């Protein structure tokens, strides 16, 4: 694809260490992982995906795209033999927990391999906001300085490059925690351009009905948003739109979610969506009143890709506020959320404006070719200056040293105890 990539590296092998097996139909994290894998495959990498997690029926068939699969064990030296034999030139950790578990083993067995961390979102930011919400306090910087923050930022320092999905998170890492920007790469979702000819085929205002919300229910912010809709926002909307329905989709629906189903109220739990594009194209407006969280919200991108206007909160819009204002509305109180939702739902001119705005703005914001090139160049630069980059990252060296001394021997103790 890019001329300079012909000399990318002689040993073109990538090992992905996954927190879970990718489930693109269940979560944005699954889609994100496949986007990253696709970049390496396009550069003729041999890709192996390994995970200690059990597979579910929703797991993507990686072998169908030429990716090898390997089950690995936590706290087990069998991983050492596996990675030494594989001898990858790059290792991608799926979230900081996997770097904690396997990073020191990678450093020992394959010291020349580039270590890349995909944060997905900043876990300490999401957990900090969740904690503030639980105790009824306004979120502030004090909620960031947690043990999870220490663990996650330590992981960022131990890696050669960390992929950050949101500009807001880039600012927090660089400004609040003073992380060296050379360790960070802003990399949002990478999606194919929506052609105007395809966009024109989407159902129009008159052909759509009802509202939709979607999200993996293993993710606490998603369940909380649905509960917020059920208890607070949806009753206000139904007063003005008594015949409207809210269709709630998502993977891993639990009994407590099913109990929210109420036909008389038009609050319908639909469960797993096999085709998110079909679901979005049938809906008139996508609702996402997210009260805590981090990263970019895949459900909003799914909606906008299908010409479906969105209404969300400031947290939901974080990192793509300009995009959301073009393609929908941002509201943080139940009353304002309801007013903007009903207005878009009833006002054809406004709906047409928001729907049509998604095409050019979305293509620019998540331009696949642009950000693939950004990622490829960043990895190339890291490979070319790996020793220099590590020498300049003394904090990372220090943390890796202590990781080798503490995590390593704790892991060996656990392995011995389990033997």
Domains of the chain: 3-190+368-418 (3.40.50.2000), 196-365 (3.40.50.2000)
> Among 122-126, 388-392, 410-414, where is mean pLDDT lowest?
410-414
Report DSSP state, residue 142.
Answer: G
Given this model, what pLDDT does residue 157 score? 97
What SS3 class is residue 184?
A: strand
Q: Tell me what the pLDDT averaged over the chain comes to.
A: 92
Confidence of residue 417 (pLDDT cuts 50, 70, 90): low
Check pLDDT > 90 for residue 99: yes
Site of tokens 């204002």: 325
Q: Is the pLDDT of residue 10 over 70?
A: no
Q: Is the pLDDT of residue 77 over 50?
A: yes
Q: Note the pLDDT of residue 2.
A: 39
pTM: 0.91
Q: Which position has the higher pLDDT, 40 or 7?
A: 40
Question: Which tokens in the block code for residue 144?
Answer: 């960031």
Q: Which residues are bridge partners to 16 per DSSP?
A: 49, 92
pLDDT of residue 4: 39
Min mean pLDDT across 127-131, 165-169, 189-193, 276-280 is at: 189-193
The pLDDT value given to residue 8: 44
Grade residue 416 by pLDDT with cuts at 50, 70 and 90.
low
Could you give phi then psi for residue 163, rounded to 5 degrees? -90, 120
**Of 285, 330, 332, nearest to 304 (Cα)?**
285
Contact residues for 145 (Cβ-Cβ < 8 A; gap 6+): none
- With residues binned 3-state (H G I as helix, E B as strand, rest as coil), the percentages for the chain, rounded to 5, are 55, 15, 30
Per-residue pLDDT, 54: 94
What is the rounded average pLDDT of the residues 5-15?
67
Residue 343 has pLDDT above 80, yes or no: yes
> Can you list the alpha helix ranges (DSSP code H) found in 159-195?
167-171
Q: How far is CA 49 from CA 21, 27, 101, 186, 307, in A?
A: 8, 18, 16, 23, 34
Least confident stretch, 85-89, 194-198, 287-291, 336-340:
194-198
Q: Is the pLDDT of residue 360 over 80?
A: no
Q: What is the pLDDT of residues 41-69, one digit of tens each?
A: 999 999 999 999 999 999 999 999 999 99
pLDDT at 356 over 50: yes
Residue 404 has pLDDT above 90, yes or no: no
Is it the case that residue 129 has pLDDT exceeding 60? yes
pLDDT at position 418: 72
Tokens of 171: 């600012």
7 pLDDT higher than 60: no
């Amino acid at each position: 694809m890019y001329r300079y990539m012909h000399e990318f590296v002689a040993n073109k092998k990538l090992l992905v260490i996954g927190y879970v097996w990718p489930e693109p139909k269940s979560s944005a994290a699954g889609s994100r992982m496949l986007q990253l894998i696709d970049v390496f495959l396009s550069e003729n990498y041999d890709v192996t995906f390994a995970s200690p997690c059990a597979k579910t029926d929703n797991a993507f068939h990686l072998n169908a795209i030429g990716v090898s699969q390997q089950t690995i064990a936590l706290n087990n030296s069998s991983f050492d033999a596996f990675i030494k034999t594989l001898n990858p030139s790059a290792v991608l950790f799926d979230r900081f927990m996997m770097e904690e578990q396997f990073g020191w083993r990678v450093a020992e067995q394959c010291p020349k391999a580039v270590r890349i961390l995909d944060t997905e979102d900043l876990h300490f930011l999401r957990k900090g906001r969740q904690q503030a919400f639980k105790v009824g306090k306004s979120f502030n910087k004090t909620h960031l300085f947690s043990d999870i923050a220490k663990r996650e930022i330590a992981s960022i320092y131990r890696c050669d490059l960390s992929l950050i999905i949101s500009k807001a998170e880039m600012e927090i890492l660089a400004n609040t925690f003073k992380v060296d920007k050379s360790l960070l790469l802003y990399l949002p979702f990478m999606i194919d351009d929506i052609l105007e000819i395809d966009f024109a085929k989407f159902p129009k205002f008159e052909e759509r009905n009802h509202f939709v919300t979607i999200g993996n229910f293993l993710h606490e912010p998603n369940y909380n948003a649905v509960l917020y809709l059920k208890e607070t926002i949806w009753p206000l909307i139904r007063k003005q739109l008594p015949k409207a329905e809210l269709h709630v989709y998502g993977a891993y629906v639990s009994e407590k979610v099913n109990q929210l189903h109420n036909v008389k109220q038009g609050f319908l739990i639909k469960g797993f969506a096999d085709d998110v594009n079909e679901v979005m194209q049938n809906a008139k407006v996508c609702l996402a009143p997210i009260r805590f969280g981090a990263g970019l919200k895949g459900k909003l991108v799914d909606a906008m890709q299908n010409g479906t206007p969105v209404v969300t909160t400031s947290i939901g819009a974080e990192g793509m506020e300009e995009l959301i204002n073009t393609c929908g509305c941002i509201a943080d109180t139940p009353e304002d959320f309801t007013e903007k939702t009903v207005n878009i739902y009833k006002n054809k001119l406004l709906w047409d404006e928001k729907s049509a705005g998604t095409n050019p703005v979305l293509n620019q914001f998540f331009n696949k070719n642009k950000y693939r090139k950004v990622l490829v160049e960043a990895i190339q630069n890291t490979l070319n200056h790996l020793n220099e980059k590590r020498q300049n990252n003394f904090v990372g060296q220090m943390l890796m040293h202590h990781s080798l001394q503490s995590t390593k021997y704790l892991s060996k103790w656990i392995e011995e105890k389990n033997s």
